[in-house]
Structure 1
Amino acid sequence: MEKQKKAVSMTFEEIVEQNERRIYYHLHKLNIRDPHREFYQEGLVAMWNAYEKYQPDKGPLATYFNYTIRNRLIDVVRKEAKEKEKVDAYKQFQGVKEKTGNYYKSGGNAYPIKYAESPNLEAEELLQVAKAILSKNQWTWLKLFIIEDMTTKAIAEREGVSVDAVKSWGKEARKKLQKLYSCGEGI
């Protein structure tokens, strides 16, 4: 009890001088590299908080320092990991946004899919070609789903058919348009 009263009456600078090794111990134990001493600063802040909140009747100050420093360092590591994860996800999103995002894999490598060059046709001409090869229902799907951005459910309600029927129209329309595009017919 004498030691605990003595510890509380010491200045924080004296406490740091005596307990600074605890911070280094936890940095080493948690395998944290700290070239810019950011984690060391967090350890000091944790030590300060422990010093301020310490209640002698709850246990030894040294144990409380260890607990507080260790948990603060773990929290900071987790926070930095989450931030890095968010930055990486954003970079990946931007990379996909800048590229087409379509790749095929062969032999462990990913290669971008190259699209066939098509002549510059105006949108109206493309729609006329599509209308000529699609059935009435397939054209309805193309116009409402692709151009007007309606959901399959909304199209089904509007046309008085099932959602599966609308999906079938879209599937067949895609097949015809892919066949047209890959063969270069009409375009």
Structure 2
Amino acid sequence: MHPCQGKKMKFSELLDLYKPMILHLMKRLCIYRNHEEFFQTACIALWEASNQYLPEKGSKDAYFYLFIKGRLMNEMTRQNQLISREDLKESVDLDMCTSVPFPHENEPDWDVLAEGLTENQKKWFHYHICLGDTITEIAEKEGTTPAAVKGWRRDALRKLKEKLQLET
């Protein structure tokens, strides 16, 4: 007989019993960033699953496992969508800034702006800002992944924003 069958358990007891399962799921789903946030999501899912469980539906362990796994996967999808939206917003903001023509006498000195960037960040800067290449095109030219190029862009934008704020 399962340790929690036939009686209502306190959540702390339930968590002690299912914490190894939660940690296993997080490891299996390769959740390493925002660990505490995902653990909290899993705990809430455990609590909801314990309240919704019906014995005629099958094994409690299997139900909890699938319920928590589904909730974690939904949260991963939600977080990935947020990151994609932020990347798109940064890209659109930057594209809007670079599409505005500068008067010739006030034209920025691109070399001065690129100072302080790493080699990869300079590659992104040159290909995207100066030549107008997309992330995919840059990745193909440099023989790397679009995710790596996005990282270059993110860090370069951060440095450029800091630099421009210091100058104003």
Cα shift at 1:7: 5.3
- Contact between 1:4 and 1:60, CA under 8 Å: does it hold in 2? no
1:43 to partner: Cα distance = 0.4
| Alpha carbons 1:4, 1:56 under 8 Å: kept | no
Identify the residue that residue 30 of structure 1 maps to in structure 2. Answer: 29
Query: What are the residue-to-residue correspondences of 1:1-187 with 2, within 5 Å?
Result: 3=2, 6=5, 8-100=7-99, 110=127, 112=130
Gap change, CA 1:5 and 1:43, over 3 Å in 2: closer
| Aligned positions, number | 108
Return the offset for 1:6: 2.6
More strand by share: 1
CA distance in structure 1 between the partners assigned to 2:41 and 2:34 by the alignment: 14
Q: Is the 8 A contact 1:46 1:68 kept in 2?
A: yes
**2: CA distance between counterparts of 1:23 and 1:5?**
17
With normalisation by structure 2, the TM-score equals: 0.57
Distance 1:44 1:29, change over 3 A: same
Deviates more, 1:74-83 or 1:92-101: 92-101
Give the superposition deviation at 1:8.
4.2
Residues 108-154 of structure 1, C-alpha deviations (whole Å, 9 max, x = no match):
952637xxxxxxxxxxxxxxxxxxxxxxxxxxxxxxxxxxxxxxxxx
Aligned residues of 1:5 and 1:56 also touching (Cα < 8 A): no
Partner secondary structure for residue 9 of structure 1: coil
1:91-114 deviation per Cα after TM superposition (whole angstroms, max 9, x unaligned): 100001111289xxxx9952637x
Change (3 A) 1:34 1:21: farther
Which is greater in Rg?
1
Structure 1 spans left out of the alignment, 5+ residues: 114-187
Contact 1:34–1:40 under 8 Å retained in 2: no
Distance 2:65 2:6 in 1: 15
Change (3 A) 1:31 1:16: same
Identity of aligned residues (%): 21
TM-score after normalising by structure 1: 0.51
- Measured on the aligned residues, the alpha-carbon RMSD in Å equals 2.6
Shift of 1:34: 4.1
Distance 1:64 1:101 in 2: 56
Deviation at 1:4, TM superposition (A): 7.7
Corresponding residue for residue 136 of structure 1: none
Give 1:90 deviation, angstroms: 0.8
1:3 alignment partner, SS class: coil
> Aligned partner of 2:89: which letter?
Y
